[in-house]
Structure 1
Amino acid sequence: MPKERKKVLCMDAQRHAEYYGMQRTFDKLYAKSKAGETFTGLMELVLSPDNIMLAYRNIKANTGSYTAGTDKQNIGDIGRLPPAEVIGKVRKIVTGSEHGYRPKPVRRKDIPKPNGKTRPLGIPCIWDRLVQQCIKQILESICEAKFSNNSYGFRPNRSVEHAISRTYSLLQRAHLHYVLEFDIKGFFDNVNHSKLIKQLWALGIQDKQLLFVLRRILKAPIRMPDGSTVYPTKGTPQGGIISPLLANVVLNELDHWIDSQWTEHPVANRYGTWRTIRTSEVFDKSKGYQKMRNSNLKEMFIVRYADDFRIFCRNREDAKKTMEAVTRWITERLKLEVSPEKTRIVNVRKRYSEFLGFKIMVYRKGGKYVVKSHICDKKLQLEESKLGEQAKRIVKPAQGRTQSEEIGLFDEMVLGIQNYYRIATCISLDCRKIHRRVMTVLTNRLNTESGCQLVREGGAMTDSEKERFGASQMVRYVSGINRPIYPIAFIKYKTAIGISAAVCCFSPTGRKKIHDNLEMDTTLFAYLREHPPKGHSLEYADCRLSLLSAQKGKCAISSECFLQPDSIVCHMKVPKEQGGQERYSNLVLLHRRYLPLLTNQDAAALKSICKQLTVTRKQLTEINNLRTAAKLAAI
């Protein structure tokens, strides 16, 4: 029997850090931060060539990188420059001026919200985004060591699913049925700059030059839609790369204060004992909690996702006192205002509590309380409306689009809704409501005089479509179009999985469950990094590393491993003279000895070279494919 190929676990951020040799640096920063050390001289790491190149790599994968700021430039403009020029310009932007770093004005754009209001979005210039990414990469590993386990938003390897799983656990297993719903008024617009800088200092980030740069980022001027310029005195720009990390720094103090009231209280730690559960060593605090329940201490647990958080209590009296204390603490310590009309105590045995687009309560079943959750009413109405509108566009496509393209957009929306909300216990009931609305629209509008164009049979599904919808009788097609219309009602509840305490991006043992290291000679990557190609762009240099990984360190023609780094050549399939671009799809790594076979020589000379290199029939096919791409005659 053929051996099954081992599935390689890969996290993009970690793989990119490996390409640029930064993973070990991040691991060291995390370990030092965990040990309580302080950090100075971080700007040297921020402005190191490898960190700047890694920042470019991470930004270009984001579709927002092609959105221009006030300088009208995007990531493509940076990618076309040589690596040395990009590194030099980033360093000059940050340290070259006698007045220090001065970010260009941030472009303000108002994004419509479902309730009719708008959300202000700040779009920094692309060079300032690159600077922010450089800083974020260094700060993230330091901050992650200090962040609470009860924070789930905008952090590596944490998600909405983890936050909802923890919520279910506190309601169903810990029986904490009084939920405090908090709302901080305009959190991102009201962050106190001085307080934030002090919090960063307390986390051990004590590089004054870096803190100066961060203060300048916070105070970057904002270019309003009417052309006027505003100079902010508080808040973090929504849309800035570093803003989510800074928001977590602000609220990390709240997380730890709540933890100190119960889960990290000295009594809990004093009576705690180490236990082995399955294969993991766990510090069991249950005895400490029993002691604390006999005191006047208030039992409370927090689950936070960015600025949206819930606190769980055992009874109404504790919940009332906790709400007063937390409201006062947020006002006095964080200089933020809690919205009284949106802050409330919910008994989830009687009514739903809303969190992250879900409405959650518990009901009695077999002598105990069990979690029940739905898509919350506003979101259900919104998703139903959006999918209904897209169904109309299947019948009457938007200008410049085909029916097949509109079906593709509809299918993407279906997958998006299902993937996000499938951890709601009653997801199938909610999706059935949406399905009825959608099918009514499609059936009515595709019902013509010649018959209904909505049919049960069409083109063959892909393997992934068969796996997901192959057993469904609800798949439909538009007559004459082979693309299936995905049935949103064909969905099954997925148990929300909590985060494993052992998982961590910044330690070798913590990465084992989520990421496999590169199984190839890393000195090849180091050589390519340290010897950037002359006369080529940053995008070209970055793609060489991707190709080296994708080709598993082997030549595309001979499939032999590259033994000597200087034997690696990055070849353009379509030459520049013929309009070829320095993009991943147009590049391939070859052994240097095969280059003469890709030049315009006479047939006899080419055959002689083939004979010298003992080119096989398979290799000749690869060579001729590359020659054809360059409009050269086959050998």
Structure 2
Amino acid sequence: MCRDWKTAEKWYHAVTLYLKERLKLDISPEKSKIINLRKNESAFLGFTIRANRKRKKRVAHTFVKAEKMRKIKADAKKRIKILRASPTAQNALRFNSFVLGLHNYFNRATHVNIAFSRLAYEIGASMYNRLKPIGKYEHPNNPPPVYKKFYSLGSKTYKIAGVYLFPLGVIKTKNVIAFTQSITPFTEEGRVQISARLSKNIRQEIVLLMESKIPTRSVEYMDNRISRYSMKKGKCEITGMFLQAENVYCHHYIPTPLGGSDKFNNLRILQKEVHELIHMTDKIKANTLIKFLGITESMLKKINKYREKCELEIIK
């Protein structure tokens, strides 16, 4: 963004020439324009943005593009018709996926609530006529955790085949956190900021991991082990238990004998006993260890995925 038209023109021509001469690409005249956001709005990826005055400064006001809202409205009505024709739990869950996907994408707009409230009003009659005969319109009573996480229980919604539909008009703006370029591992100041964001316990364990030495491992492995531990906040990726440095094992998801590397994406932070369980071949010992560690069904599924990558038999 530029403060004046002349600067914007310079940047426009500079970028156009760079794309043409260096990358051999032509810009789209329809999409590439210089727009005065004080007077006009700019559309991008379904959003519109405009710089409106607020007291002594201007702030960005973002909306959902009108054309996009028309498409969403048509799609919502289509899905409601499908629900009316086949009021199954699966179709209700598909409708919820549709609504949640829209909310997660457009909740960055500052005026998204206005757009979706209007949308809910416009299709309200259609929903009433089609869904009232096949469901109940009520306040959610003991809804699933996902519903509680994203929506309040104060708004009524339809219950179809035992599934509460996510309310289309209930959405709040989510503040977009700007990316701070000063936070980087390549400068001393950036590393200090990264360290400050970690909890005290994790910082202590990272120091111990940095001091530890494994002669048989590569530098890449040692560095990525620390990065992975930091990203997972010191927790085992299967049990979720916080691990102290001496109880950390960095596992190769695809074993090195089978072509696995020491890259970050191929490493997993695991509790030592869990790592032993992944490679254990004795079924009796494995079942004993499962009981000792309190491994749940969901944890066991993850462990079996790891075992499959190691070409080992799954634990039943």
Q: TM-score range by the shorter chain?
A: 0.5 to 0.7
Residue in structure 2 matched with residue 494 of structure 1 by the alignment: 174
CA–CA distance in 2 between the matches of 1:380 and 1:340?
A: 24
Matches within 5 A, 1:537-616: 549=270, 552-554=271-273, 568-570=276-278, 595-596=283-284
Which of residues 407, 424, 427 is equivalent to 2:109? Answer: 424
Secondary structure of residue in 1 paired with 2:100: helix
**Corresponding residue for 1:408?**
93
Q: 1:506 to 1:524 in 2, by over 3 A?
A: farther
Which of 65, 70, 89 is the equivalent residue of 1:381? 70
Instruction: Check if 1:482 corresponds to 2:162.
Output: yes
Provide closer, same or farther for how the CA distance between residues 467 and 526 of structure 1 changes in structure 2, counting only shifts above 3 A: closer
Q: Larger deviation: 417-426 or 328-337?
A: 328-337
**Cα offsets for 1:166-186 (capped at 9, x unmatched):** xxxxxxxxxxxxxxxxxxxxx
Change (3 A) 1:342 1:523: closer
**Where in structure 2 are the equivalents of 1:105-254 lying within 5 Å?**
none
- Structure 1, unmatched stretches of 5+, are 1-311, 539-544, 556-561, 563-567, 571-588, 600-614
- Give the Å deviation of 1:327: 2.1
State the one-letter code of the partner of 1:488: L
- Given the superposition, is the C-alpha separation of residues 361 and 521 from structure 1 closer, same or farther in structure 2, using an over 3 Å criterion? same
Cα–Cα, structure 1 residues 630 and 344, in superposed 2: closer, same or farther, change >3 Å? Answer: closer
Q: Deviations over 1:588-633 (max 9, x none)?
A: x65x7x644789xxxxxxxxxxxxxxx89x65x98xxx9xx989xx
Shift of 1:471: 3.6
Residue type at the aligned position of 1:474: K
Q: How many residues were matched structurally? A: 248
Which of the residues 57, 61, 78 maps onto 1:368?
A: 57
1:359 partner SS? strand
Match of 1:320 among 1, 6, 9: 9
CA contact (8 A) 1:395 1:403 kept: no
Change (3 A) 1:433 1:524: same
Aligned counterpart, 2:207: none
Structure 2: which 5+ residue stretches go unaligned?
Answer: 198-229, 236-242, 261-266, 301-313
State the Cα RMSD in Å: 4.0
- TM-score, normalised via structure 2 length: 0.63
Question: Per the alignment, in what secondary structure is the counterpart of residue 34 of structure 2?
Answer: strand
Q: How far does residue 487 in structure 1 lie from its aligned partner after superposition?
A: 0.7
C-alpha spacing 1:393/1:314, structure 2 compared with 1 (3 Å): same
Paired with 1:367 and 1:531, the residues of 2 have a C-alpha distance of 61
Residue pair 2:47, 2:109 contacting (<8 A) in 1 also: yes
Q: Distance in 1 between matches of 2:139 and 2:110?
A: 31
For residues 252 and 8 of structure 2, the distance between their equivalents in structure 1, rounded to whole angstroms, comes to: 60
Given the alignment, which residue of 470, 473, 490 partners 2:152? 470
Deviation at 1:525, TM superposition (A): 4.0
Asked if the contact 1:458/1:482 (under 8 Å) is kept, the reply is no
**What CA distance in whole angstroms lies between the structure 2 residues aligned with 1:445 and 1:387?**
12
1:425 Cα offset (Å): 0.9
Preserved CA contact (<8 Å) 2:50 2:60? yes
Task: Give 1:554 deviation, angstroms.
Answer: 2.2
Alignment match, 2:238: none
Compared with structure 1, are the counterparts of its residues 337 and 461 closer, same or farther at alpha carbon in structure 2 (3 Å cutoff)? Answer: same
Cα distance in structure 2, aligned partners of 1:429 and 1:475 = 19
TM-score (norm 1): 0.34
How far apart, CA to CA, are the structure 1 residues paired with 2:27 and 2:55?
A: 39
Q: Does 1:359 align with 2:45?
A: no
Equivalent in the alignment of 2:21 = 332
Q: Distance in 1 between matches of 2:127 and 2:102?
A: 19
**Which residue does the alignment assign to 1:390?**
79
Displacement after TM superposition at 1:488 (Å):
1.8
Give the 3 Å change call, closer, same or farther, for CA 378–522 of structure 1 in structure 2: farther
Amino acid at match of 1:429: I
Tell me the distance in 1 between the aligned counterparts of 2:27 and 2:315: 64
- Per-residue CA deviations over 1:4-33 (Å, capped at 9, x if unaligned) read xxxxxxxxxxxxxxxxxxxxxxxxxxxxxx
* Aligned positions of 1:434-453 closer than 5 A: 434-448=119-133, 453=135
Q: Distance in 2 between matches of 1:366 and 1:337?
A: 41
Give 1:63-102 correspondences, 5 Å limit: none
Q: Please state how far the C-alpha of 1:527 moved relative to its aligned partner.
A: 8.7
Q: Match of 2:163, as an amino acid? A: R
The residue number in structure 1 matching 2:32 is 343
User: Is the contact made by 1:435 and 1:488 (CA closer than 8 Å) also made in structure 2?
Assistant: yes
The alignment partner of 1:442 has SS state of helix
Determine helix, strand or coil for the equivalent of 1:340: coil
The 3 A distance-change label for structure 1 pair 395 and 317 is: same
1:363 deviation in Å?
Answer: 1.9
Once residues 162 and 141 of structure 2 are traced to their aligned partners in structure 1, the CA distance between those partners, rounded to angstroms, is: 4
Percent identity at matched positions? 22
Q: Do the aligned partners of residues 504 and 317 (structure 1) sit closer, same or farther apart at CA in structure 2, a change above 3 Å counting?
A: closer
1:406 maps to amino acid: N
Q: Deviations over 1:372-411 (max 9, x none)?
A: 11011222222222222112211123xxxx6211111111
Q: Determine if contact 1:392/1:441 at 8 Å carries over to the other structure.
A: no
Deviations 1:76-98 (A, max 9, x none): xxxxxxxxxxxxxxxxxxxxxxx
- Residue 464 to residue 334, structure 1, CA distance change in 2 (3 Å): same
Determine helix, strand or coil for the equivalent of 1:417. Answer: helix
Task: Find the aligned partners of 1:389 and 1:396 in 2 and give their Cα distance.
Answer: 11
Structure 1 stretch displaced more, 515-524 or 454-463: 515-524
Q: CA deviation at 1:458?
A: 5.8
